[in-house]
Amino acid sequence: MDAAQSAATHVGTSRAAARIRHSAMEMFAVHGYGSTSLRDIAADLGLSPGAVYPHYKTKESLLFAIAIEGHTSVLSQVTAVDAADRPPIERLSATVTAYVRWHAENHLRARVVQYELRSLSGPNLKVVARLRRATSNVFTAIIEAGRDSGAFSPVDVDATVLAITSLGVDVSRWFPTRKYSDPATLAERYSEIVLMMVGAQRRSDR
Amino acid sequence: MDAAQSAATHVGTSRAAARIRHSAMEMFAVHGYGSTSLRDIAADLGLSPGAVYPHYKTKESLLFAIAIEGHTSVLSQVTAVDAADRPPIERLSATVTAYVRWHAENHLRARVVQYELRSLSGPNLKVVARLRRATSNVFTAIIEAGRDSGAFSPVDVDATVLAITSLGVDVSRWFPTRKYSDPATLAERYSEIVLMMVGAQRRSDR
């Protein structure tokens, strides 16, 4: 997994760095990236600002590490449940379920990872964009396979992949609500909606 | 239009207030609500901080006015193209097109209106939530009508309305891209996707 491996080199590996990332992620999610300083993050952990510096020199390097970690996690969840030799309907159902579920279970992390990307500089954004593209490519390959085999309708593949991405990403904006607070239930509903979107009929033997 | 009328009383009506809202909306969209002060907004307009005060006493009252104005605008666009005596397929296509198009054409405003809501206090959020619900109710009524008449499949109405909302709202996060930069084209693609979602087959006489 090329994009993920090369991106991983930018994430700090020590336990201290992981604690800093976690605290930063929560503060970015709650207060916004723009309103949070490295000093705030250090204070949240009971550290002096100087204690963060050996791990992350800038606030952006922290956001970058969080973004890579998050997008690598999505990508690995989605690829883990995919298998090219299975029927396209099963593949789409499994991968969309994993994708939506990740965004529900990690909704705070997902907000940072999906909404604060514009704060990354060009070269950093490129690394993250590669990971995002790798995830989209999984959906693209499945929809093309389903369309070519006749399991799906002849849909607009790019627009459909964009719609799947939007359904997943937007979960992190609103999840949870009173009605949808269980990630697995939501993921199942959304995976059924996506099967409708591509014109796949599930057998009613569930 | 009850929710819209009662909400409108919270929006300043003078030209000066409109200029302040517009500047605030752009600054909130670009820098985030948390990172923008009333002083920044005044400075952006070349005003003293005291000149904003007669119109908006607090930053939240400005966000509240922007949110009401935005959500009223979405609601009026969607209701303007709906007509209960037309076939459900046409109604869904027209309203989803208007909804997606609004989010593309107003993507900066939409980001503020959709993503900064958590910064509103409870009573203000309730007013905005009523407007949002009024828009969702338009989609709900159409999908129920289509499902009951057999024009649509027996879909999960709530989950489908949630998915339509997500498709529209998420446009404001990413729009425009190199591939999708024309609001009308995107709105057409997404409206086709939503028709698939509900199992409606458009006649191929376009």
pLDDT digits (tens, 9 = 90+) for B84-137: 999 999 999 999 999 999 999 999 999 999 999 989 999 999 999 999 999 999
Residue of B nearest to A169 (CA): B170
Q: Tell me the one-letter amino acid at A166.
A: S
A163 to B193: CB separation less than 8 angstroms, yes or no? yes
Q: Tell me the C-alpha distance between B28 and B37, whole Å.
A: 9
Q: Is A11 on the interface with B (CB under 8 A)?
A: no
φ, ψ for residue A84, nearest 5 deg: -65, -20
B158 to A179: CB separation less than 8 angstroms, yes or no? yes
Q: Tell me the C-alpha distance between B35 and A106, whole Å.
A: 25
pLDDT digits (tens, 9 = 90+) for A16-73: 999 999 999 999 998 889 889 999 999 999 999 899 999 999 999 999 999 999 999 9
Q: Is A180 on the interface with B (CB under 8 A)?
A: yes
Greatest alpha-carbon pair distance for chain B in Å reads 61
Average pLDDT value for residue range A90-101: 98
pLDDT digits (tens, 9 = 90+) for B32-64: 898 899 999 999 999 998 999 999 999 999 999
Please give, one letter per residue, the 3-state secondary structure of chain A. Answer: CHHHHHHHCCCCCCHHHHHHHHHHHHHHHHHCCCCCCHHHHHHHCCCCHHHHCCCCCCHHHHHHHHHHHHHHHHHHHHHHCCCCCCCHHHHHHHHHHHHHHHHHHCHHHHHHHHHCHHHCCHHHHHHHHHHHHHHHHHHHHHHHHHHHHCCCCCCCHHHHHHHHHHHHHHHHHHCCCCCCCCHHHHHHHHHHHHHHHCCCCCCCCC
Residue A181 CA neighbour count, 13 Å, CB half: 3
Model pTM?
0.92
Q: B32 CA to chain A: closest CA distance, Å?
A: 7
Q: B156 CA to chain A: closest CA distance, Å?
A: 8
B190 to A31: CB separation less than 8 angstroms, yes or no? no
Residue of A nearest to B189 (CA): A159
Residue of B nearest to A199 (CA): B196
Which region among A131-135, B13-17, B141-145, B179-183 has the lowest average model confidence (pLDDT)? B13-17
Q: B189 CA to chain A: closest CA distance, Å?
A: 7
Which residues of chain B neighbour A170 with C-beta distances below 8 Å?
165-167, 169-170
Q: Which of residues 84-113 of B touch A (CB under 8 A)?
A: none
Which residues of chain A neighbour B180 with C-beta distances below 8 Å?
162
Which residues of chain A neighbour B155 with C-beta distances below 8 Å?
193, 196
Which residues of chain A neighbour B170 with C-beta distances below 8 Å?
165-167, 169-170
- Under a CB-based contact definition with an 8 Å cutoff, are residues B185 and B177 in contact? no
A179 to B198: CB separation less than 8 angstroms, yes or no? no
Q: Percent of chain A beyond pLDDT 70?
A: 92
B75: closest CA among B6, B158, B25? Answer: B6
Q: Tell me the C-alpha distance between B181 and B148, whole Å.
A: 36
The ipTM (two decimal places) reads 0.90
Q: Is A29 on the interface with B (CB under 8 A)?
A: no
What is the 8-class DSSP label of residue B201? P
Question: Does the pLDDT at position A99 exceed 70?
Answer: yes
Q: Pick from B32, B158, B193: which is nearest to A197 by CB? A: B193
Contacts 24+ apart (CB under 8 A), A168-171: A168/A96, A168/A99, A168/A100, A168/A102, A168/A103, A169/A103, A169/A110, A169/A114, A169/B170, A169/B173, A170/B165, A170/B166, A170/B167, A170/B169, A170/B170, A171/A100, A171/A103, A171/A104, A171/A107, A171/A110, A171/B166
B84 vs A3 pLDDT, higher one: B84
Average pLDDT value for residue range B152-181: 96
